[in-house]
Structure 1
Amino acid sequence: MAPDKPALDTLINTHDFEQIASRTLAPKTWAFYSSAATDLHSKARNASVYTEVGLRPRILRNVKDVDTRTTMLGQQVALPLFCSPTAMSKLVHPDGEKGIARGCKEMGIPQCVSTSASYPIAEIMQAVAGVGKYGDVVGEMPLFFQLYVDNQREKSEALLKHVEELGVKAIFVTVDAPIPGKREADERISADESISAPMSGDVAKNDKKGGALGRTMGSYIDSSLSWDDMPWLRRNTSLAIVLKGVQTAMDARKAMELGIDAIVLSNHGGRSCDTSPAPLLILLELQKCCPEVFDKMEVFVDGGISRGTDIIKALCLGAKSVGVGRGFLYALNYGQKGVEKYIEILKDELETTMRMLGITDLSQVHPGLVNTRAVDHLIPDGEEHPYAKWRPKARI
């Protein structure tokens, strides 16, 4: 460990991992992972909105024993948390996604592996062969796969077939990044042109715009992907299909109508389109404008989660589980044990919050346990603007 990296046992919250990563990761690695689109408003808002939603604790309940177990896409998990897909984790630690996978398995939560992972997914799955200490809860650790659809569709078709044969449980299709966002901190530092992603085949490079890894290594992504391609996707996998990056009630309803299995409310950690809505606000928009989607498919939230209280607030408003991306990378700074410690911290905080609210099981969460009045005025009533009614003459 670096001389200024404190012992893992001294870390007491998830923010500690981020602060340590900011001063111990290589400058390019920190810039790549911590950066977000343009002025970083969405990144900040993703987290800050959780502080504006209050909890409503109930007292004098028997909360001696609490249970954080739940299911996600039919898979038994130890708590309502999953590791969101992140690219090239080997930049943080030599074990990369393998270290994250081992830590997640040991703690009984799912990992979603990115198309842009540092290792082929077969190697990641091989790294977690066998049963961890939560084996009696989850059996084989649920592993999901995140797909960026390739310009050369046959490559994506082959990849979908491959991961299904390996035993992946669901496909998360990223739909909020038809092109990479402008991440200026990442552009300012030159990239190591030896970096590559084995499953996508892309290689890092520098050009006159800068050295952003997300931009230069995302040229293979098919920006023509549309709703019309959902039948193609279904033809090429029998696994559950999850759309990651839904940001409006209109698109949530469209996904439901097309029979999509689940959605992730996400703005890509604020990395795609700055000033896009915070996921917790999108969750409230769904409750207001299309509550029927919660009966038809599972809804997940990704972005801004750093406390057990954040998890509870999302669950009370209808989320089935929550995803964390950057946090697991900062935890990987300490290898597998760091990942386990990170999950343990959130689990402890989740159990504490449950007891404070007077509940003992996640089946008991409901909207009455939160106060959303501070943000209710931010929730749209539908697709139309409340008073500006003009329409473009150009064909959309």
Structure 2
Amino acid sequence: MTRVISVQEVTQHNIPEDLWIVVDNTVYDLTEFAPEHPGGASIIQRHAGRDATTTYSEIHSPSLIKTSLPSSKVLGTLDPTSITPEWADPPIPTRTFHPTTKPDLSTLINTHDFTSAASTSLTPKTWAFYSSAATDLHTKTRNTSAYADIGLRPRILVNVKDVDTRTSMLGCNMDVPIFCAPAAMAKMAHAEGEKGIARGCRAKGIPVCVSTNASFAIAEIFESVAGRGSYGEHKEREGGEKGELPIFFQLYVDKQRAKSESLLKHVDRLGVKAIFVTVDAPIPGKREADERVQADESLSTPMSGAKAKNDAKGGALGRIMGSYIDASLSWEDLPWLRRCTKLPIVLKGVQTAMDAKRAMENGIEGIVLSNHGGRSLDTAPPPVLLLLELQKHCPEVFNHMEVFVDGGVMRGTDIFKALCLGARSVGIGRGFLYALSYGQEGVEKYVDILKDELETTMRMMGVTDLSQVHPGMLNTKAVDHLIPDGEEHAYAKWRPKSKI
């Protein structure tokens, strides 16, 4: 039988040598764990003999403490009848950041508004982590500006009273050709984290791809969208079958391959629809804005086990928490991946026509043309220009596997242009994190804005269904000169004598 412990008893265990805390009404003995806490013992000692739920929940998923401590350290449940006014007062806040008041959600009318609101309302570290990109930010900037350099060629006198934005990706229906791209540690933006994103995406009928570095274990994310309900416009079927949210899983391959193997089996059992293997970040890029702001060393992620810390280079969460990623991953490892999962495999981070063609030749089901949101290698090509490169040098890949893009999408016109050039759908990462600062409601409004802009673009272009889009609807002459002529340089023919 579970032991019931009074507030009075908990408060007596309030020194480093005898340290109890309460999280979600469960009493834990952290005497031995506190000195080994990745974020340091001080944060735990500050809550000795107290309720630490609020501070704990700002950083960790509910399951982490339950799965990390041995059962002998789980002492029992808190007796609610013993709670006093003094106990109910929270401990001294650990954060000193006082955010600017966010504008009301109803006043936001485009995706740029969400970015602006996030820049002043998120903590400095959260903003630095989410918004930062590699070195001089050229690629991050060009990801968006490249869309503006491509013109539209509207057609007139077409009946566009009704338009349809529905499509599918990897066999999954979607109401809008958008999916939530994997983005780490969403809980830094809102307590609901990836669960809030998943609920918002389910309501609007678009898939979500969960990161290995998510704030919550993927089982908790699945649980958050379980039960009766609808997936966008796909209502419950007769017999009460629920409208199921398609969830994909993004994999960073761990240096300890057995961990990745175990994780792949786990997500397969849960019902994940596809595996997105990140291939554009064998190591984290240098994100200087993230380095400049000290990391909260109590941060960790439940699936990867990565822990934040600060060192001589700075406090970049991306660099430090990505240290487990296996930089030896190569084409030769694809058979290993196939043995680990029977799910469709998507390579996320393809950046040349050569690698797109090689992926096709290896039987890969899909690719994401992506430069990690400009976070990996500065001056890497924008994804929309990669679509042109593939159309120029290996158009056959569009017939053999599904092609997606992510990075730089801010408008409905951007989505339309990507689809015209062969993309099946577009992924958005940062934008959903910024929208999440308003909770599930913010996520839903973010999708609504882009859907409305896409519908407007379709009507202006004389298009009523996404099956009608094609490259002839675009003027790409302003960027055509930026598309490489092939694998070799146009005129510089020097090659190294050393082995490559």
Which TM-score band (shorter chain)?
over 0.9
Cα distance, 1:136 vs. partner?
2.0
User: Is 1:150 aligned to residue 150 of structure 2?
Assistant: no
Judge conservation of contact 1:92–1:333 (CA < 8 Å) in 2. yes
* Structure 2 counterpart SS, 1:136: coil
Matches within 5 A, 1:191-202: 191-202=295-306
In 1, distance between residues paired with 2:498 and 2:381?
26
In 2, distance between residues paired with 1:232 and 1:183?
31
In 2, distance between residues paired with 1:68 and 1:204?
41
Q: Cα deviations across residues 234-285 of structure 1 (Å, max 9, x unaligned)?
A: 1110101000000000000000000000000000000000000000011100
Matches within 5 A, 1:107-122: 107-122=204-219
Tell me which amino acid in the other structure corresponds to 2:128.
A
In 2, distance between residues paired with 1:133 and 1:121?
19
Rg bigger for which structure?
Answer: 2
User: Is 1:57 aligned to residue 154 of structure 2?
Assistant: yes
In 2, distance between residues paired with 1:162 and 1:222?
20
Q: Which residue of 1 aligns with 2:143?
A: 46
Change in Cα spacing, 1:66 to 1:76, as seen in structure 2 (3 Å) is: same
User: Is 1:33 aligned to residue 137 of structure 2?
Assistant: no
Q: Which residue of 2 aligns with 1:254?
A: 358
Cα distance, 1:134 vs. partner?
2.0
In 1, distance between residues paired with 2:330 and 2:481?
31
Cα distance, 1:394 vs. partner?
1.0
Residue among 188, 199, 212 paired with 1:91 = 188
* Structure 1 counterpart SS, 2:487: coil
In 2, distance between residues paired with 1:80 and 1:369?
18
Relative contact order higher in (CA < 8 Å, ≥ 6 apart) = 1
In 2, distance between residues paired with 1:346 and 1:258?
34
User: Is 1:281 aligned to residue 385 of structure 2?
Assistant: yes
User: Is 1:206 aligned to residue 304 of structure 2?
Assistant: no
In 2, distance between residues paired with 1:2 and 1:102?
26
Residue among 453, 463, 477 paired with 1:359 = 463
Unmatched segments (≥5 aa) in structure 2? 1-97, 237-242
Q: Cα deviations across residues 269-315 of structure 1 (Å, max 9, x unaligned)?
A: 00000000000011100000000000000000000000000000000
Q: Which residue of 2 aligns with 1:299?
A: 403
Cα distance, 1:6 vs. partner?
1.2
Cα distance, 1:381 vs. partner?
1.3
Unmatched segments (≥5 aa) in structure 1? none
In 1, distance between residues paired with 2:316 and 2:334?
30
Bigger shift: residues 138-147 or 105-114: 138-147
Q: Cα deviations across residues 27-70 of structure 1 (Å, max 9, x unaligned)?
A: 00000010000000000000000000000010000000000000
Judge conservation of contact 1:78–1:137 (CA < 8 Å) in 2. no
In 2, distance between residues paired with 1:33 and 1:8?
20
Q: Which residue of 2 aligns with 1:339?
A: 443
* Structure 1 counterpart SS, 2:478: coil
* Structure 1 counterpart SS, 2:448: helix
Q: How many residues align?
A: 396
In 1, distance between residues paired with 2:360 and 2:117?
41
Q: Cα deviations across residues 171-230 of structure 1 (Å, max 9, x unaligned)?
A: 000000000000000000110000001000010000000000000101110000000000
Judge conservation of contact 2:295–2:308 (CA < 8 Å) in 1. yes
Q: Which residue of 2 aligns with 1:373?
A: 477
In 1, distance between residues paired with 2:100 and 2:322?
35
In 2, distance between residues paired with 1:50 and 1:255?
25
In 2, distance between residues paired with 1:122 and 1:223?
27
User: Is 1:387 aligned to residue 495 of structure 2?
Assistant: no
Cα distance, 1:113 vs. partner?
0.2
Q: Which residue of 2 aligns with 1:11?
A: 108
TM-score (norm: length of structure 2): 0.78
* Structure 2 counterpart SS, 1:31: helix
Matches within 5 A, 1:153-232: 153-232=257-336
Q: CA RMSD in A?
A: 1.1
In 1, distance between residues paired with 2:269 and 2:415?
33
Cα distance, 1:7 vs. partner?
1.1
User: Is 1:328 aligned to residue 432 of structure 2?
Assistant: yes
